[in-house]
């Protein structure tokens, strides 16, 4: 079998031009695509989680978190478990809609990002108030799958919420300048 030498990309100007063109495309649109993906991911999360708050399954799943929280336990004296969960669902769906409304005006996603950061800061506080988060017999930093690891993911969602708020504020400032 004869060996055919492979010519380098440099020897193929059209291939090299296409590669450079593709890199330029990624460079020029990559940030916008990434930002759109980040916004969309949080909108999907809020749509999904917010919609689940209207189910008995989700409402009952919140009782251990909310009932042990000094910030929120009082809500069960005002609302039933289902009613509180439904109110939370309305809040989450509204936050998702505000973040999605970045397409209309970044002021909406700024408010959505700030509300989202507040909501995730609240859920992160559950790590200190909910029994069963840590697994003392395994030592630090062991935490349970639920509720520990379930709550820990909110650090990333909190950071994403802040990023959305900052990105939206930057967009507002650039349009007003």
Q: Is 4 part of a structural domain of the chain?
A: no
Residue 48 lies in a domain: yes
Domains contained in the chain, number:
1
Q: What pLDDT digit, counting tens, does each position of 84-121 carry?
A: 999 999 999 999 999 999 999 999 999 999 999 999 99
79 Cβ partners below 8 Å, 6+ apart?
Answer: 87
Q: Report the pLDDT value the prediction gives residue 9, as an integer from 0 to 100.
A: 45
Contact between 128 and 91 under an 8 Å Cβ cutoff? The reply is no
Domain-embedded: residue 6: no
Average pLDDT over residues 26-42: 84
- For residue 33, tell me if it sits in a domain: yes
Tell me the Ramachandran region of residue 80: left when phi exceeds 0, alpha when psi lies from -120 to 50, beta otherwise: beta
Q: Would residue 28 count as lying in a domain?
A: yes
More confident residue, 9 or 117: 117
Domain containing residue 99:
12-176
In a domain, 171, yes or no: yes
Scanning the structure block, which residue is given the tokens 């108030």? 129
Q: Does residue 18 fall inside a structural domain?
A: yes
pLDDT digits (tens, 9 = 90+) for 161-172: 999 999 999 999
Whether 104 is covered by a domain: the verdict is yes
């Amino acid at each position: 079998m004869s060996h055919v030498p492979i010519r380098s990309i440099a020897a193929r100007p059209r291939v090299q031009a296409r590669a450079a063109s593709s890199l330029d495309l990624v460079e020029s649109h990559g940030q916008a695509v990434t930002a759109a993906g980040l916004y969309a991911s949080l909108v999907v999360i809020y749509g999904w989680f917010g919609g689940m708050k209207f189910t008995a399954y989700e409402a009952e799943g919140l009782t251990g978190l909310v009932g042990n929280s000094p910030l929120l336990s009082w809500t069960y004296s005002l609302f039933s478990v289902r009613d509180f969960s439904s109110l939370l669902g309305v809040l989450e769906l509204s936050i998702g809609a505000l973040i999605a409304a970045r397409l209309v005006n970044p002021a909406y996603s700024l408010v959505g990002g700030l509300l989202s950061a507040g909501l995730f800061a609240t859920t992160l506080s559950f790590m200190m108030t909910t029994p069963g988060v840590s697994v003392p017999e395994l030592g630090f930093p062991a935490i349970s799958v639920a509720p520990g690891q379930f709550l820990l993911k909110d650090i990333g969602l909190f950071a994403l919420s802040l990023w959305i708020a900052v990105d939206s504020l930057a967009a507002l400032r650039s349009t007003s300048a």
